[in-house]
C-alpha cells in the first residue's frame, strides 16, 4: 500500500461523503480527518487515538472498521521497514565513504613521504660533491700567475736601470753643490715676518631694559613699551611686577608715592607731583646713567 490516507480518501469519495459530514457525525475535528488522509500522523495524538479516529471514520463512511485498522497497521509496518533499510544504506554508504577517505589519506601521506626522502637525498648529494672548476676560471688563474711573474721581472730590470741613473744624479749633485753654497752665503738672511693682529669686530648689542615695579601701597600703572605695545596692571600692596623693552618705557602712575620703580635692578627717581599721579614719564637707559 503506497498511502493509507489515499486509501481512506478513495473509499470516502466512492461513497460520496464529505469530511464535514464525517466530522459532524463522529465529533472528530475536520483538521484531524485531513491529517489522516494526508498521512500526517506526526500531528495527530497517540497511536491509540489514531486507531479510534480510523474506526470512527470507517463506520461513518460504511467501511469495515477492523479492515481499516489492519490496513493502517500494514502501512505503518512497511513504512518503518523502509526507514530502517534507508538508515542501514545510509550508514553503509557513510562507512564506505570513511574507508575511502582513509585510504586516500594514507596514499597521500605515502606519496609525500617518498617525495621528501628524494629531496633530502638530492640535497645531501649536492653538499658532498664540490663544485667543478670551469675552464674559464682555470685559464684566468694561469693568466694571473703569468702577469705576476712578468711584473717581478720588470721590477728587476727597472731596479738595475734606476741604480745607474742614481749614480749619475749623485755625481752631478756633487759638482753643483759648492756653487750653490757660495750663492747661499751671499744672500741676506730673511727678515722676520711681521705678524698682523686681527681685532675682532665688535658686534652691536641691543640693550634690554627690565622695568620692575614694587607696590608699597595699592597702585595702578599704564605702560607703552617701545612705542607700540600697551599694558596696564593693578598691583596690591606688597606685589611686584616686571616688564621688558628694547629702547624705552612711557609710564603713567597712579599713587606714585606708593610705587618703587627699578630699571635693570637700579632705582629710578620718580618725579615729584602734587596730585600723586605721573603721566608720560619716559624711562630709558639715561634714567640709570645719570649721576646720582
pLDDT at 187 over 50: no
User: How is the chain split into domains, by residue range?
Assistant: 1-129, 131-176, 209-289
CATH number of 1-129: 1.10.260.40
Dump pLDDT digits (tens) for 100-151.
777 777 888 888 888 888 888 777 766 665 555 455 554 554 455 454 544 4
Q: What's the gap between Cα 64 and its chain centre? A: 84
* pLDDT at residue 238 in the model: 93
DSSP character at residue 241? E
288 pLDDT tier (thresholds 50, 70, 90): confident
Instruction: Please report which helix (H) or strand (E) contains residue 281, including its range.
Output: strand 277-283
Q: What are the Cα distances from residue 193, in Å, to 23, 187, 189, 190, 198?
A: 144, 17, 12, 9, 15
* pLDDT at residue 19 in the model: 94
* pLDDT at residue 215 in the model: 93
Q: 238 — phi, psi (to 5°)?
A: 90, -5
Dump pLDDT digits (tens) for 223-235.
999 988 999 988 8
Report yes or no: 211 and 283 within 8 Å, Cβ to Cβ: yes
Q: What proportion of the chain, given as a percentage, has pLDDT over 90?
A: 37
Residue 58 CB contacts under 8 Å (≥ 6 apart), including other chains: 64, 65, 67, 68
Per-residue pLDDT, averaged over 267-281, amounts to 85
Report yes or no: 258 and 215 within 8 Å, Cβ to Cβ: yes
The percent helix, strand, coil of the chain (3-state, each to 5) is 60, 15, 25
Amino acid at each position: 500500500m503506497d498511502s493509507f490516507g489515499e486509501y481512506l480518501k478513495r473509499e470516502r469519495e466512492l461513497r460520496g461523503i464529505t469530511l464535514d459530514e464525517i466530522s459532524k457525525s463522529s465529533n472528530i475535528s475536520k483538521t484531524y480527518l485531513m491529517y489522516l488522509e494526508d498521512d500526517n500522523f506526526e500531528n495527530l495524538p497517540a497511536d491509540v487515538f489514531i486507531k479510534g479516529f480510523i474506526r470512527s471514520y470507517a463506520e461513518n463512511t460504511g467501511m469495515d472498521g477492523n479492515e481499516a485498522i489492519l490496513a493502517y497497521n500494514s502501512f505503518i509496518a512497511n513504512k518503518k521497514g523502509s526507514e530502517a533499510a534507508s538508515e542501514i544504506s545510509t550508514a553503509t554508504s557513510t562507512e564506505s565513504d570513511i574507508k575511502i577517505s582513509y585510504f586516500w589519506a594514507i596514499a597521500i601521506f605515502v606519496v609525500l613521504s617518498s617525495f621528501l626522502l628524494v629531496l633530502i637525498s638530492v640535497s645531501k648529494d649536492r653538499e658532498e660533491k664540490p663544485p667543478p672548476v670551469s675552464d674559464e676560471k682555470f685559464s684566468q688563474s694561469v693568466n694571473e700567475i703569468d702577469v705576476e711573474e712578468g711584473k717581478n721581472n720588470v721590477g728587476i730590470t727597472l731596479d738595475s736601470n734606476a741604480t745607474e741613473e742614481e749614480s749619475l744624479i749623485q755625481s752631478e749633485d756633487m759638482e753643483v753643490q759648492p756653487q750653490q753654497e757660495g750663492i747661499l752665503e751671499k744672500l741676506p738672511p730673511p727678515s722676520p715676518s711681521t705678524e698682523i693682529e686681527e681685532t675682532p669686530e665688535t658686534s652691536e648689542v641691543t640693550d634690554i631694559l627690565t622695568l620692575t615695579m614694587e607696590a608699597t601701597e595699592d597702585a595702578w600703572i599704564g605702560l607703552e613699551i617701545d612705542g607700540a605695545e600697551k599694558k596696564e596692571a593693578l598691583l596690591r600692596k606688597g606685589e611686584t611686577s616686571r616688564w621688558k623693552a628694547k629702547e624705552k618705557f612711557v609710564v603713567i602712575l597712579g599713587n606714585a608715592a606708593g610705587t618703587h620703580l627699578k630699571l635693570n635692578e637700579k632705582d629710578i627717581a620718580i618725579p615729584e607731583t602734587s596730585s600723586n599721579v605721573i603721566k608720560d614719564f619716559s624711562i630709558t637707559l639715561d634714567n640709570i646713567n645719570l649721576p646720582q
